[in-house]
Structure 1
Amino acid sequence: MSARGGAVEFSGKVALVTGAANGIGAGVARRLAAAGASVVVADVDDDRGKAVADEVDGVFVHCDVSDPRHGEAAVTTAVERFGGLDIAVLNAGIGTGFGLGDDFDPERYRKVMGINFDGVVYGVHAALPELKKRGGRIVATASMAGLMAMPMDPLYGANKAAVVGLVRGLGPVLATDGVTVNAVCPSFADTAIISGFKSALVSSGMPVMSVDDVVDAFVAVLRDGKPGECWFVQAGRPSAPFTFPNPPGPRTATGERVSIDHDPITDPITTDPITTEEN
């Protein structure tokens, strides 16, 4: 089935999408609705959010993801309006616009962390009880900045690296409850978050992807993502799970990898000799 063909592969599913008033979130909301899902559009932009919700025949909720109560209310709306929750796309995010020198802004820093990382934590916490009932999926929007150095905005890179680490750690944990969690890690996409430096990217020859290209990756992850995978999205390269190169641990004294996909209290520690391939 084509991801852009209006197929009904998500028929009967209920999706919550944060940051869904614009950009990638709006694109995901439209694509899921076109494929049969009922969509809760969550955002702080009431006018645009309501417009997207009307467009996809969904429901809008005002949602500041940095406030855990808002995430809980959004999940409640999904249950009350559509009977449950199958998919949580935790997409809300903002750029920083400052560094750690004289331009550092502690108040802005807390806001950025509250949206880019806390919003994912709160979203997972709010959605889990309902997702466990239906074997649901969580997809968090991270970034290529979470997989590689981001000198032009190191704090944004740190936010997104935190999302990647959270998803990787939660993967095996949530899988035991039938919930699959993934991250999508796009490179530069044509959204408001790059508006301040888009011209510089273009003039330097850096490709800027369309929102549709990124949404394709979200659909692929929802269809095929395995627990804890973080999928990169780059122009000119098929999206796929990022293979983290040869992580340093945990290992035994003889170099065998230690499996931590277990309950350390009830299960003994085992070793896994499988190595990790380079990307």
Structure 2
Amino acid sequence: MKHLVTVGVDGSRESRAAAVWGAQEASLRGVPLRLVHVIDWPISPAVPQLDCDTAARRADEALAQALEDVGRRYPNLETTTRHLSGRPAAALAVEAADADLLALGSRCLGGLLGFLVGAVGTATLTATETPVVLVRAADEPEDAEPTGYGEMVVGVDIDEAPDKVLSFAFEEAVRRSCALRAIHSWKLPRAYRTFPDDDPDDEREAGRSVAQMLDKVLVPWRRKFPSVSVDQVALIGPAGPHLVQASAGADLVVVGRHLRRSPLGAHLGPVARAVLHHAAAPVAVVAHG
């Protein structure tokens, strides 16, 4: 694997934001940036006016625009461009396999509807084991050299505690010299929900037990990354809404995705899907076994 950050660009405002975010990430990692545009080929007969020459011209324009945005903010960053032909999700997944991270744009739907990840973004996410970051247009950094970074958020499953997810989150926190908020959500055992008149002390005791388990999961990571300030929180209720709420003001939200495949193919779990569609910050999806 080459050490680089890859960004899929298509000329949209969202993909331009992803290009700048990817440049910032490449700068933090000290690696090159690669901007990729995929021409959807074969071109659909529904849009016959989009011939090969037009598609190639649009690809060049999208790459040139993204390259200009990146160069203006990160003039010393090694950046390359390339355009390919094929199905975008498959082509981007192949490109991601050769990178440390893939960044894609995600369009805001406005209001309470959240964000549109899109068929290409979803298909790419489930087709690669490389971490993928979805970036909103509003996430575009204003300064070439940020003066500081805010808090990062990571969703932690204490039953599995996948190393890949926690490793990614802690390493990113080190790069940014920022605090990390580790969130685990839990629910009462079925017995408590069946008999709601039970002693409320039982719920508090269950909460303390969950908090201790979360602490146990994080101890080795605190030791490995002593410079990272960690705020660990165990909250009762569904994980998605808690992570979405915590995303307000965060620099990055990190969630995991199971590599298991169903008979219909790979898919995103409910937590990752909820965060991708509603989080206010860029979202990193890290695949794990």
Question: Is TM > 0.5 for Structure 1 vs Structure 2?
Answer: no
TM-score normalised to the size of structure 2?
A: 0.30
The structure with the largest alpha-carbon Rg is 2
Judging by fraction of residues, say which structure has more strand: 2
TM-score normalised to the size of structure 1?
A: 0.31
